[in-house]
Chain A
Amino acid sequence: MTIIKILLILAVIGLAIFLLRSHGTSRGGAYLKIGMAVFLAFAAYAVIRPDDLTWVAMQLGVGRGADLLLYALVVGFGFFAISTYLRFKELELKYARLARAVAINEAEQVDLRAAAATRPHDPQSRS
């Protein structure tokens, strides 16, 4: 197997573990921002000096620099997609719990009012 394939597989596994453990935390978020910045710098560099990129690509077993950029983009997109999905699920849970609290509170108010309406005379009010 060429180096690029090994690297890609390792990157996928490594990032998967990392993401699942620290997503949603501020530390995970910081890592992701750093990752984005590195990726953008890498992309800008690839535009400015494409031949350097091609050299790197060939070391890894990839034909062209543009292909290397493409692989990196696909992997990056994959993680962004999963990370976003997981964060949405978490948001969903939060608002579900919020809606539940509102619903139960409202129902308990109704129950209290119904109980008060049917309660016989308060024994404490009798002298």
Chain B
Amino acid sequence: MTRSEPADGAQGNSDVWLVVPVFNETRVIRSVLATVLPTFPNIVCVDDGSTDGSADQIRGTGARLVRHPINLGQGAAIQTGVEYARKQRGARYFVTFDADGQHQVDDVRRMVTRLRTEPLDIVIGTRFRGNADDVPLVKRLVLRTAVALSPRIRRLGLTDSHNGLRAFNRTVADGMDITSNGMVHSPEIVAMIDVNRWRVAEEPVSILYTDYSKAKGQSLLNGVNIVFDSAVRRRH
């Protein structure tokens, strides 16, 4: 299989590129990639300065590897991945996908199908349509509050503004310009959707909260940083 051409994937997904930001996921990244690659053969993992050898786990799996020389943050990793993917020949759809096994391949498949068939630019996963019971209670409250506090989010009709599973087309990818490095990229993406008038829809998805992912989940205290950064972020 030559690496210079997009591989022919199962079900014609060779025009889809997954962007997987990776930070210290050496224990699970290999198995996560193994579950996804059969369906989506074009994956770019952005190793954001991992210190546990995650990069070695990624090499040889068939996924592409882009390594940040220093740790920058998840937002920066996503931006790097999107910039890399949109230069690849034949890339038409892009999906941000978590490295820790929280996201489901079937959800991605459905979201990409919607992009192909419906007049949409970006589809965001949501934990709050359908069954939200497996979301830890405190997290659920915080996320609901984040949505309630933002008139823009309500105007766009979003119920889960901090969902990491997003599928989008070239229009969005070409316009993607995340300038915040850390976790503030979610509100930034929502703002971009609003400003650029991208056509957005939500798709119910299931997030698998394993002990592993719960242990490293975004701490609520970091929410303080997110709110502050959102408030002072410059509007160009």
Contact = CB atoms under 8 A, between A and B. Distances in A.
B72 A96 contact: yes
Interface residues of A, number: 21
Nearest to B79: A100
B72 A107 contact: no
Contacts of A86: 232, 234
Given A86-B234, A100-B79, A103-B80, A119 B4 contact: yes
A107 B84 contact: yes
A26 to B, nearest CB: 18
Interface in B74-91: 76, 79-80, 83-84
B89 to A, nearest CB: 11
Tier of interface size on chain B: 20 to 34
Contact of B70 (A89, A93, A99): A99
A43 B110 CA distance: 67
B4 A99 contact: no
Contacts of A118: 1-4
A20 B233 CA distance: 11
Nearest to A106: B67
Nearest to A114: B3
A72 to B, nearest CB: 24
Contact of A100 (B1, B65, B68): B68
A93 B72 CA distance: 10
Contacts of A89: 232-234
Given A86-B234, A99-B70, A111 B64 contact: yes
A103 B232 contact: no
A118 B68 CA distance: 26
B57 to A, nearest CB: 16
A51 interface: no
A7 interface: no
Contacts of A114: 3-4
Contact of A110 (B1, B65, B69, B179): B65
Contact of A111 (B3, B68, B76, B233): B3
A99 B232 contact: no
B112 to A, nearest CB: 24
A3 interface: no
A107 B87 CA distance: 12
B66 interface: yes
B64 A103 contact: no
Contacts of A92: 181
Contacts of A30: none
B160 to A, nearest CB: 26
A13 interface: no
B96 to A, nearest CB: 16
Given A92-B181, A93-B179, A106-B67, 5 more contacts: A89-B232, A99-B68, A104-B66, A107-B65, A118-B2
Interface of A: 20, 82, 85-86, 89, 92-93, 96, 99-100, 102-104, 106-107, 110-111, 114-115, 118-119
28 contacts: A89-B232, A93-B179, A96-B72, A96-B181, A99-B68, A99-B69, A99-B72, A100-B68, A100-B79, A102-B69, A103-B46, A103-B68, A103-B69, A104-B66, A104-B83, A104-B84, A106-B66, A106-B67, A107-B64, A107-B66, A110-B65, A111-B4, A111-B64, A114-B4, A115-B2, A118-B1, A118-B4, A119-B2
